[in-house]
Amino acid sequence: GAALTLALTLALALCAALVVFLPTNGAAGLSRAGPLRSRANLKPVSLARRALCTAMKGGAAGTGVLGNPTWQQTMLRVKDGEKSVQHYQDVYGMTLLDKLDFPDMKFSLYFLATVKDGEKTPEPGTDDAHRYLWNYPGATLELTHNWGSETEEGEVYHPGNQEKDGFGHIAFACDDVYASSDSLLTQGVEFKKKPDEGRMKGLAFAYDPDRYWVEIVRREPINSPKFNLAQTMLRVKDPKKSLKFYIDHMGMTLVREKHFEEAKFSLYFLATIPEGSTEPDPSQPVLELTHNHGTEDDPSFNHFTGNEDGRKGFGHVGFLVDDVYAKCKELEEAGFEMKKGPEDGTMKGLAFALDPDGYWVEIIKRGGYDAKATP
C-alpha cells in the first residue's frame, strides 16, 4: 500500500484485546470505552476453535472469496520513523522489509515483520524489496511517518484506549512473559502493566515510543524468534456484522472465540489461513475483535476509528487482492462504503473501504502496480 497524508494516509494495521486489571486503579472498568481485555486468567463460558474447511466461510489464502484477499498489514502513525523502526527491531526482533518514500507528499512508510531465523530478505528500498513486500504472505506492521513530526514537542499521535476508542493494541508472543518482560526492562522499555502486577497475572503491556500499548502474551513454544508479532486488536460494536465482513468478504477465518458472560465481553480471533493449509500459521498474527456486550443495541454508539481530527494514531488494516477494482465493486454492491475508490485522488489503483465500524480497510493490488512493484 501507499499512503495519502493530509487527505488519506495509506498505511496498515493489526491488534489484540483484553480486560486487564491495572495496578494503578485495581480493576479496569467495563465501560464502553473498551477496557483492556485479557484472555489469560478469565475463564470463558465457551471456547470454540474452528479450523478452515469447517462451518466458517473463507479459506486458505481467501479461497472462494472474490479477489483472494490476504491480510497483509496494520498501520500506525509514528512521530519519528527511524526511532520507531529501531525500537521494533531492537526490542522485538522485527525485520524491516521495505521503506517507501513519497517526497511530494512528505511522508515515508516502513514495513516490518517477524521473519524466521535465517530467512534472507531483500535490501529495503530496492525493487526486489518492493516485489517481496507486495507478495508477502504474512502480516506486516506498517509505520507511517509524516516528515517533520519528529521535531514537534510532546506526543503527536493518539495511542488509543480512551473513552470510545476502537483501537486497543498490537501484541507480541513469546515463550515466557516474565523472562521476556525482565529483558525488556533492562532495555529501558516502559510498562503499562508488568506480568506480576494487578489481578491478571502472566501478561504484560509495554509502551512503544509513541505510547501505543504493546501486549506481551505467552505462546506455545514454536520454531520462531524470541518474539513474533501476534495480534492487532480492534473493538467492534456488532460482532455479527464485523465477522460477516472479514470472513465473507476479506477471506479471513474465525479460529477462536471466547465469551465472558460475567464480565460482559467476547473476543473473536481471525486469521488468514496459509494457502494449502487448514490451520493458521502460529508464527503469524491474528486480528482480535473485542465486543463489549450491549453496544450492538445502542443506535447512537460508535467507536472512534483512529482517523478523526485530534485522535489520529491507528490508521487501518490492509489486504492484498488480485484485482482492486473488482473487489471494490463487490464491496459496494454488498452495501459497504468506500473511503477512497481506486480511481479517486492521485494514488490510482488502490482503495480504502469502510468496515461495519467505519475502520479503514486498505485494498492493495497483490504484486504491486508496475514493473518495479511500486504503487
Catalytic (active-site) positions: 215, 362
Residue 206 backbone dihedrals phi, psi, to 5 degrees: -105, 165
Three-state SS at 337: coil
> What's the distance, CA 201 to chain centroid?
24
Alpha-carbon Rg for the chain in angstroms: 19
Residues 131, 184 contacting (CB under 8 angstroms): no
Instruction: Estimate to the nearest angstrom the gap between the alpha carbon of 62 and the chain centroid.
Output: 18
Strand boundaries in 45-152, DSSP class E: 46-48, 70-78, 95-102, 107-113, 140-146
Beta strands in the chain, from DSSP E residues, in sequence order: 46-48, 70-78, 95-102, 107-113, 140-146, 167-174, 191-193, 204-207, 213-218, 228-235, 253-260, 265-271, 286-292, 314-321, 338-340, 351-354, 360-365
Instruction: Choose among 167, 154, 218, 161: nearest CA to 192.
Output: 161
Instruction: Output the DSSP codes for 199-250.
Output: SSTT-EEEE-TT--EEEEEE----SS-S-EEEEEEEE-S-HHHHHHIIIIIT
Angstrom distances, CA of residue 4 to CA of 11, 321, 350, 351 = 9, 20, 11, 11
**Under a CB-based contact definition with an 8 Å cutoff, are residues 68 and 323 in contact?**
no
Rounded to whole angstroms, how far apart are CA atoms 323 and 337?
18
Residue 272 gets which letter from DSSP? P
**DSSP letter at 138?**
S
Q: Report H helices in 98-162.
A: 127-133
